[in-house]
Amino acid sequence: MKATPGRIRIIGGSLRNSRLEVPELPGLRPTPERVRETLFNWLAPVIAGAHALDLCAGTGALGIEALSRGASRVRFVERDPGAAQALRANLARLKVAGGEVVLADALAHLAMPPSPFGLVFLDPPFAAGLWTPLARGLETGGWLAPATWIYVESPRDLEPALPPNWRLHREGRAGEVRHALYRRTSELPLS
Q: In this structure, are strands 177-184 and 6-9 parallel, antiparallel, or unpaired?
A: unpaired
Nearest to 37 by CA among 60, 11, 64, 16: 11
Let me know if residue 189 belongs to a domain.
no
Let me know if residue 190 belongs to a domain.
no
Question: Using CA atoms, how far apart are residues 72 and 61, in angstroms rounded to an integer?
Answer: 16
- φ/ψ of residue 29, rounded to 5: -135, 85
Q: How many domains does the chain have?
A: 1
Nearest to 8 by CA among 19, 16, 73: 19
- φ/ψ of residue 31, rounded to 5: -65, 125
The pLDDT of 65-76, averaged and rounded, is 97
Question: Using CA atoms, how far apart are residues 65 and 111, in angstroms rounded to an integer?
Answer: 27
- φ/ψ of residue 133, rounded to 5: -65, -35
CB atoms near residue 97 (< 10 Å) = 9
Q: In this structure, are strands 51-55 and 117-122 parallel, antiparallel, or unpaired?
A: parallel
Let me know if residue 178 belongs to a domain.
yes
- φ/ψ of residue 179, rounded to 5: -120, 135
Let me know if residue 98 belongs to a domain.
yes
Q: How confident is the model at residue 1 (pLDDT cuts 50, 70, 90)?
A: very low
Let me know if residue 1 belongs to a domain.
no
Let me know if residue 39 belongs to a domain.
yes
CB 137 within 8 A of CB 107: yes
Question: Using CA atoms, how far apart are residues 183 and 85, in angstroms rounded to an integer?
Answer: 31
Residue 142's domain comprises: 6-184
pTM: predicted TM-score of the whole model, two decimal places = 0.91
Burial of 12 (0-12, 13-18, 19+ CB in 10 A): middle
Q: How confident is the model at residue 4 (pLDDT cuts 50, 70, 90)?
A: very low
- φ/ψ of residue 107, rounded to 5: -65, -40
Let me know if residue 16 belongs to a domain.
yes
pLDDT in tens, 10-22: 999 999 999 988 8
**What CATH number does residue 136 fall under?**
3.40.50.150
pLDDT in tens, 82-138: 999 999 999 999 999 999 999 999 999 999 999 999 999 999 988 888 999 999 999
CB atoms near residue 50 (< 10 Å) = 21
Let me know if residue 191 belongs to a domain.
no
